[in-house]
Structure 1
Amino acid sequence: MTWAANHGASLEVLREVQGSLTVDLIMVPRSSFETCTPGETAAQIKARNVDQFSYFPVVDEQKRVVGLYYAERWFDADAPNTPIGKDFDRLSEDIVIGADASIFDFVMQADVNSTNLVVSGNQIAGLVSLSDLQKLPVRAALFALITSLEMAMGLAITKRWPSSTDWLSLLSNGRREKLMTAIEDARARDSFVNEIAYTQFSDKADLIFKGRMLSQGRTRLGKSFRDIRDLRDSLSHANQYAETTDAAKNVCEVVRFIYTTKAELLKVIETTEK
């Protein structure tokens, strides 16, 4: 099987991963909810919110979930005696997500809607929030997405420059020497695949820019590719990558950039194949 064929398989596997890694795997189940009622006040919620939950599902007299109350705003401020019933987000499409939705469906918008009620059938089954981005299913989904992007980058490069000599000449002398050493070692072990398979992520990013395959400018691309590389390294070494609100929101931005970039690269690949 050639490397290009493996690329096609990886896209199929990615779709399967996206379909199997769903929101219900990372949500807080309803049985673990800390809720509040419309009649309680903001001050009362702050007094009993010793675990500092950012959001509370709001329930009516029949224990039906009717919305979300944002409690984090009072972490460092005095909470008023305003009734929750006058100050909460009622159920709407903006704050709900299906239990069988892909984890990426949540990640793609979690920096805007950081907490979603999870719907299963005709009831609220759980709650998922920005803080859940470090759970194992999300790690697996992110790693698969980044791997798929890197494969698309490699394929786009080989389509743009069918002869490896052409794209090798665009790398710096130091990077080219290290790459050739790795290729020679692989040939000696009879494990050679093709030249592009031995490039680093930064090599591919550099070549993608030099080939003018993407619409963004170099400054924007440079930062985004560095963010992807840093995220991939954190995933590979089981490090923290979304330990703060800002870091988690950056993950959402990186994921959107990956999807946009893959779409552009696939167009490059399709164009060169015609």
Structure 2
Amino acid sequence: MAANWARPAFAGVDDIFKTLHYGLTVKLVSTPRHELKTCKWSELASDVLDSNPDDFDFIPVLNDADDEPRLVGLFHAADIRKRGIADGPVSSFYVPLTEEYLIGADASILDFVVQADSRPCRLVVSGDQIVGLVTLSDLQRLPVRVALFALITGFEMIMTDLIRTTLPHEPAWMAMLKPTRLTKIQQEILIAREKDAYVDALLFTQFSDKAEIMKRLKPLAVNGPALARNLRHFESLRNKVAHANEYASSPDQAKHVCKVVRELLSMRCEIRERLNET
């Protein structure tokens, strides 16, 4: 029966990747418009800062229309507070809306994450309406954790596929493992065989084992210290996400996550190109 499980399940993995992440949308992590703290562009900037006890970094700005005020831009409260210059109305400080401050409600969470360090606040658009706001701090929300875990798990799967394709004989990649890990894996394989549950030796490896093989294998354009550093960052993020630990509890940590995700997506793309060549 175990043999039925032995076929690698990577067929169509790219379509699955896209389907999964397109289902995890920005709308799931954004603050709905009716919950947003806003300000008028005629208000004094100092008054807006004083009435911002939650220290929001960005506050949407409304015009002064009496019938139906419209969102016209963003007031970067954190930056103005840091500079200590808040003399005059909000209209003297706010940033008018442009495309770079907008993102579709149906955009994937990863679409936001890969740019969130350079675009930390986006107004969420659905149809012709602004329906919410998403910021860098939203990287801490549960749907982002789900998206990151799926991303890293998928990356580990594609690493497995590359190792299996490049080194089809088990002794070749086993020789690249650290002795303590090799012994542990061999013991687990022995137990699985005794229970008639053995499928594939690579399934007994952990992320760190695959990373060790990748470093020794050097299959990519990024190698040496850069490859080792990237894989270490991937594993660190994986462990924090998987074990419900904090991974974006400060702006610097959140920006680091954005960088790690970009590096992971780039390496994933390179591995897929390498696999397509075989």
Is TM (by shorter chain) over 0.5? Answer: yes
- Range 84-93 or range 154-163, more displaced: 84-93
- C-alpha displacement of 1:79: 3.6
**Structure 2: gaps of 5 or more residues:** none
What is the match of residue 227 of structure 2? 221
Deviations 1:93-131 (A, max 9, x none): 111000010011100100000010000111110000011
1:33 equivalent in structure 2? 36
Ranges in structure 1 where 5+ consecutive residues have no aligned partner: none
CA RMSD, Structure 1 to Structure 2 (Å): 1.6
**Distance apart, 1:11 and its partner CA:** 4.1
- The letter for the 2-side match of 1:267 is E
Distance 2:33 2:25 in 1: 17
Q: Which residue of 2 aligns with 1:122?
A: 128
The share of aligned pairs that are identical, in percent, is: 38
| Equivalent pairs, count | 272
Q: What's the CA shift string for 1:239-269, capped at 9, x where partnerless?
A: 1111111111111111111110111111221
- Aligned equivalents of 1:4, 1:108: Cα separation in 2: 33
CA contact (8 A) 1:52 1:72 kept: yes
2:10 aligned counterpart, secondary structure: helix
Which residue among 220, 230, 249 is the counterpart of 2:236?
Answer: 230
What's 2:173 paired with?
A: 167
Q: Distance in 2 between matches of 1:183 and 1:245?
A: 43
- With normalisation by structure 1, the TM-score equals 0.94
Q: CA deviation at 1:142?
A: 0.8
Superposed displacement of residue 77, structure 1: 5.5
- Of the candidates 153, 166, 174, which is equivalent to residue 147 of structure 1? 153
Alignment of 1:177 onto 2:183: yes
Deviates more, 1:237-246 or 1:72-81: 72-81
Q: For the residues of structure 2 that align with 1:225 and 1:75, how far apart are their CA atoms?
A: 38
How many angstroms apart in 2 are the aligned matches of 1:109 and 1:161?
A: 36
Shift of 1:218: 2.1
Once structures 1 and 2 are overlaid, which stretch shifts more, 186-195 or 240-249? Answer: 186-195
2:190 partner letter: E
| C-alpha spacing 1:224/1:3, structure 2 compared with 1 (3 Å) | farther
**CA displacement 1:34-75 (0-9 Å, x = unmatched):** 111222232121111111010010111231111111001244
Can you list the C-alpha shifts for 1:203-240, whole angstroms capped at 9, x where unaligned?
11121122221212322222221221111111211111
Of 53, 56, 77 in structure 1, the residue corresponding to residue 56 of structure 2 is: 53
SS in 1 for 2:184: helix
Task: Tell me the TM-score normalised to structure 2 length.
Answer: 0.92
Is contact 2:42-2:64 (8 Å) kept?
no
Between the aligned partners of 2:171 and 2:110, the Cα distance in structure 1 is 38
- 1:43 alignment partner in structure 2: 46
Range 135-144 or range 110-119, more displaced: 135-144
